[in-house]
Amino acid sequence: MKLIIGGYAQGKSKYGEARFPGHILYDEANFSLLYREAPGTGIRINHLHRIIREKLEAGQTEEEILRDVEGIARNHPDCVFISDEIGSGIVPMDPLDRRWREVTGRILIRIAAESDEVIRLFCGIPQVIKKELPTVRHIFLIRHGATPGNLEHRYIGRTDESLSETGRREIERHCYPICDAVFCSPMRRCRETAELIHPARIPVEVADFRETDFGRFEGHTYQELQDDPAYWHWLRTEGTIPFPDGESREEVRERVLEGWQKMLKEAADRENIALVIHGGTIMTLLSELFGGNYYDYQVRNGEGYSFDVSRDGICSGLRARSYSGGSGDMEPSGAANR
């Protein structure tokens, strides 16, 4: 839950729209429709001070209004409340105005106490008053959907393919976790997958999460490389030597880990984080973070892993995730609003 406050016409609504573009907007004009939203939906409640005023005029007590606000926060943990600061030290003559000022102040105090972030807007400039960082972050690794080259079992690294129609349909049939941050490789197949899975989130591209450069093997199948001595030599080393004219596993490791650290810094205030990346990137990252053989972490298109990262960087709780079936914390990919 987050709270955005400030004086009249200080840019609160515009800031909320820019900061939380995927959240559904409610205000005093359509507030009653909020109760039809599915739990977990990201919402922005604009003009909270006016909504409180209308509820007071309708005869609701302060306790009833507070219960209503707390119920919204429980059903929509990612909600954003936006309110004017009212009063400014002036005591109104009208009894209702006085009560409105006092009730609004007390409710804003309660919201601020429970919020993980409180932002005040002054002349359009956001001022962070409070920001709590999560003690544990939940990471969801998702391999991109299938491309034409994947379906033909080709080495597809630097080739910037789009998803195939088959790959797109498979992603749309899967269910994926609700996340408050999405990062992806800059390659088209990952960007397209991220947009299908989380249409309400703008994915942050991390260049270091791109797939391995397979060099001379790029675009070829196992069968097409049968007569290449360099390919057989590479296989005999179990892929520990560099790809001819391509990257070595150590080079990939260094940049993937650098990208991982950049991502952790960028998402310092986020709790549920999706990484839509490549199979090779997943194998590199997990073999470094959890040990074991590089090939232990092979994963099909559209599937992946999840694990937790503590505030001091300790990773735990690794488990394979099949996103082909839903659970209580998942929604079908392609859901319009999240």
168: CB partners within 8 A, 6+ apart: 145, 192, 196
C-alpha 67/C-alpha 54 separation (Å) is 16
Q: What angle do CA 36, 39, 44 make, to 5 degrees?
A: 75
C-alpha 209/C-alpha 81 separation (Å) is 35
286: CB partners within 8 A, 6+ apart: 141, 292, 296, 297, 305, 318
Q: Mind listing the pLDDT tens digit of every residue in the chain (338 residues)?
A: 999 999 999 999 999 998 888 899 999 999 989 888 888 888 999 999 999 999 999 999 999 999 999 999 999 988 999 999 987 667 778 888 889 999 999 999 999 999 989 999 999 999 999 887 778 899 999 999 999 999 999 999 999 999 999 999 999 999 998 898 999 999 999 999 999 999 888 899 999 999 999 999 999 999 999 999 999 999 999 888 999 999 999 999 999 999 999 999 999 888 899 999 999 999 999 999 999 999 999 999 999 999 999 988 899 999 998 887 543 344 333 332 22
C-alpha 86/C-alpha 10 separation (Å) is 13
- Residue 172 has a CB neighbour count (10 Å cut-off) of 14
Q: DSSP characters for 117-151?
A: EEEEEETTEEEEEEEPPPSEEEEEEEEPPP-HHHH
185: nearest Cα among 215, 141, 244: 141
